Amino acid sequence: MDTSELLIAMRRNVEQVAAFNELAKALTSTLDLKEVLDLLMQKVAELLKPAHWSLVLFDEASGELYFERVVGEAASKLEHQRFAPGEGIAGVAFTTGQTQVVNDVSAEPRFSPRFDRVTEFRTRSVLAVPLKVRGKPVGVLELVGTAGAPPFSAEDQQAAGAIADFAAIAIDNAHNFRRVQELTLTDEHTGLFNARHLRALLDHEVLRANRFNHPLSLVFIDLDNFKRINDGFGHLAGSALLKEVGEVLKSGIRQVDAAFRYGGDEFVLLLVETPAAGAKIVAERLRDAFRGRKFLKGQSQPVTMTASFGVASYPKDAEDGTALIKAADRAMYQVKASGRNDVAYAS
C-alpha cells in the first residue's frame, strides 16, 4: 500500500470512528423506541449507503420475524410482512446468530426461491447481521447492494456489525423503559390502565373538553356478586375472570377511548368527545355483552357475570374530573339499589 492509499484508508477510519461516536450519542439520547429505530435507519444510510435496507425484529408472542423498518425500492412489498425464523437470509442470520454474507443470491439455492419475497433482488449481494442482547438474537439488520455493484466488503461487514451492536443495546433499553412505563400505568391482572393513570388522563381530557367545547363522558362499572367467584372457585379464578372482563371492556370501546381498573371489581371507561346519550349506548352494549357471555370456560363449569353501569358526562353532570367520577359512581349505585345488571344516568 503506497502513501496515498494509506492516507485514504486512515481518513476513512477516522471518519468511521467519528460516525460511530455520533451514532452512539444519537441512540443513547432517547428511550423512545420509534425515535431509536428512525435514528438507526438514518445512520445506516449515512454510513453504509446500501440500495435497500431493513430492520427485522422478533415477535416473542407469535414466534415470528417481521419487517419493522424498510427503506428502499421494496419498502411497500416488505413492510410489516412476517416470516418464520430460519426462512431467507435474515431468518438464517437470526437462528444461527451469525452474520450472513451472500454475494449473489441467485447462486444460493437455499435463499433464491424466497429471498424476502422480492424477485428483482435475487442477483444482488446481501448482508444480514443479527442484533444480539446478552448473546440472544432479537432481530436482524439486513442490507441489499445495488444491482451490478461489488459485493459487501470486509469493512462493510465490520461497520454493519458495529451498527448492529449499538442498535441492539438501544432497542433493548427502549423496550425496558417501555415495560417500566407500562408497569406504572397498567393493572397487572387485566392489562387495563390503572386508577393513577385515570386521574392524570381525566384531568387532561377535562382541560381539552373545555378548550374545544366537546362533551366528555365517564362510565363507572361494578361487577355484580363478584365475591361468589372468589369464594366458590378461588382467587386464581377470580383473577382470570377479571382479565376476561378487561378484554370485554377493551373490545367494546373505540381506540381513542380508554378503559381502567379502578380497584377490586370496579372499572371505569373514559369516552372522549362523547355526550351522555352516546355513553349510555356504549354502556348498554357492554351490559348486553356481559349478559350473553360465559366466563371461565376453562373451568369445569363456566359462569355468568353481570355488571352495574353508571354514566355521567362533563360538563352536564360535574364541574371537574373528580366530581365526574363521583357522579358516575352514584349512578352505578342507583343500579345496585334497584336490582343490579343495568345502566343509569347520573342525572
| Cell numbers describing residue 320 | 371537574
d(CA 48, CA 337): 70
Alpha-carbon dihedral sign for residues 48, 52, 58, 61 = positive
d(CA 186, CA 196): 9
Q: 239 and 296 in contact (C-beta within 8 Å)?
A: no
Q: Name the CA radius of gyration of the chain, rounded.
A: 27
72 CB-side CA count, 13 A: 24
Q: 138 and 132 in contact (C-beta within 8 Å)?
A: yes
d(CA 15, CA 9): 10
Q: 42 and 27 in contact (C-beta within 8 Å)?
A: no
Q: 181 and 197 in contact (C-beta within 8 Å)?
A: no
d(CA 35, CA 42): 11
Output the CA–CA distances (angstroms, integers) from residue 253 to 246, 279, 294, in the order listed: 11, 10, 20
Catalytic entry in 187, 257, 265, 329 = 265
Task: Confirm whether 265 is a catalytic residue.
Answer: yes
d(CA 244, CA 295): 7
Return the active site residues: 265
